[in-house]
Amino acid sequence: MSNLTRRRFLQAAGGITFLALSPIGCSSFAAPGNKAGWPLFTALPYVQPGAGSQLVNGAESLIIAWQTEDKAANFRCEYGATERYGQRATIEQSKVWAGDTGRLHYAARPDKLKLGTRYYYRVWCNGEVLFAGYFTTRQPRGARIRFAAFGDNAYGGDADRAIAFRAYQQNPDFVMNTGDNVYNSGLNSEYEDHWFPIYNHDQASLETGAPLLRSVPFYTVLANHDVRGRDANGGSCADFDRDRDSLAYYTAMHLPQNGPTPAFPTPLIGDLTRINDFKSAAATRYPNMANYSFDYGDAHFLCLDSNIYLDPSNRDLIDWIADDLKSTDALWKFVTYHHPAYNIGEQHYREQHMRVLSPTFEQHKVDFVLHGHEHNYQRTRPFRFVPRENSAVHKINSSNRLISGQFTIDVQFDGAKNTAPDGVIYLTTGAGGAYLYDTEFTNDPSKWLHPQDDNAPYVAQVFADRHSLTMFEIGGKTLEMKQVDENGEIIDRLRVTKA
């Protein structure tokens, strides 16, 4: 591909406009001429959603973040609705870690933005422009939107890059990363090694990944690979003795913070100085970013922590969820959490604690619930669920929390001729890059039943023999969903309509 063609391709799909930085190894970048004393970049500028929850024209803000070596530099970030820029963003700096090596994290905050508008930005360092790109703010009500969803990615293999490229080709407004978005332990050093370089690669290809992050915000949720420590009792926690750069979810991501103070925040153990360093960098993001919601176009999204250290039957949490889903006037409602409450996989079938939230989702007319955790693609039929025996939900830190109950399945819905579902569709899209689970389940519906669930046929489709991602496109009362595999083929699709 010639330079010109490549540049056009990148611009068409929402990518780079200018990069003066040169790669030094796989995950660091130097200023032109590798100027003495200038910091190396360890994460190129990437767009984050920021605090925006409700849609308010003129009050939109995003975050442009980047990370460097722990070396002082004078940064400036400009932005504007044209490439003449004109506005200057405030920049906050925090000290973070990659392994035991210090890093500086920068967060520039363009604000007072209009909805559904492209903005240009550029980052100056020590008086020189090193980077220029653009992003588009959230779409207002009534606008068509499209987003990608995938999870269990950034494993460090070729499939991560293929899925990043396929997502990029789909030109999403944003990405919903359904958790385990970096392996193995959610460390900032792991984001440096195989998250930023893949989803913010300068070239778009199956072999490299794609320049998504510099233009496309990623939303994500807390998952088990974000929290990989164990306390003296074997409980799930972040262990800062083991990993100084634990919980990069709270220090590298900038997401809405409109959820309640969690009753079960991510537990922290280890050296107090390290924990205080983490808290200082995360500021209000820890623990408030555990649960949040936001609107985008005609859709509302609720994102929840589903880790095993929490009890989702907590009254404050359920009240907040009900209130959040009730108070939105969005036409479409999505929930994202990592641990799939309804899946027939061999690996995580018994982690059913999140099932207790289904009646609340049904009552407030949630359309889709998105998950990861199972490294494959599983789609359920629309159904309603009434828990029967749910005492296991209180077994904190157990991965064996079976919740039995009554399924009422809409078997008429087929997503083609019959497009009005009765119930919630649960979609596990965890084939984003990590090694696959249960490949033999593909095309074998006899394996999609479970005696513990009275062999209720709630699973409608499984693709476990290939990596894939989900695309949603919403225009008014019609939603199109398609599952795209690593070869770019559509392997499953649905149309959902509202009266």
Q: Name the site residues for Fe ion (rule: CB under 5 A).
A: 180, 223-224, 373
Q: Of 189 and 224, which CB lies nearer to Fe ion in the complex structure? A: 224
Q: Which of 461, 456, 464, 470 is nearest to 379 (CA)?
A: 461
Nearest distance from residue 256's CB to Fe ion, in Å? 22
Q: Of 374 and 410, which CB lies nearer to Fe ion in the complex structure? A: 374
Q: What share of the chain is helix, strand, coil (3-state, %, to 5)?
A: 20, 35, 45
Q: Of 122 and 338, which CB lies nearer to Fe ion in the complex structure? A: 338
State the Cα–Cα distance between residues 466 and 7, nearest whole angstrom: 30
> Quick check: 47 and 216 in contact, CB under 8 A?
yes
> Quick check: 485 and 463 in contact, CB under 8 A?
yes
Helix, strand or coil for residue 192?
A: helix
Q: Of 180 and 410, which CB lies nearer to Fe ion in the complex structure? A: 180
Nearest distance from residue 341's CB to Fe ion, in Å? 13
CB neighbour class for 443 (10 Å; exposed up to 12, middle 13-18, buried from 19): exposed
Give me the sign of the Cα torsion angle 319, 342, 295, 499. negative
Nearest distance from residue 343's CB to Fe ion, in Å? 11
Nearest distance from residue 372's CB to Fe ion, in Å? 6
- Give me the amino acid identity at 210: A
Q: Of 223 and 238, which CB lies nearer to Fe ion in the complex structure? A: 223
Q: Among all residues, whose Cβ is closest to Fe ion? A: 373
State both tokens at 473.
């496109």
Angle at 471 between CA 470 and CA 473, to 5 degrees: 150
Nearest distance from residue 445's CB to Fe ion, in Å? 25
Nearest distance from residue 218's CB to Fe ion, in Å? 17
State the Cα–Cα distance between residues 386 and 355, nearest whole angstrom: 9
Q: Of 295 and 351, which CB lies nearer to Fe ion in the complex structure? A: 351
Nearest distance from residue 314's CB to Fe ion, in Å? 21
Residue with tokens 């309603």: 384
State the Cα–Cα distance between residues 196 and 181, nearest whole angstrom: 11
Q: Of 188 and 224, which CB lies nearer to Fe ion in the complex structure? A: 224
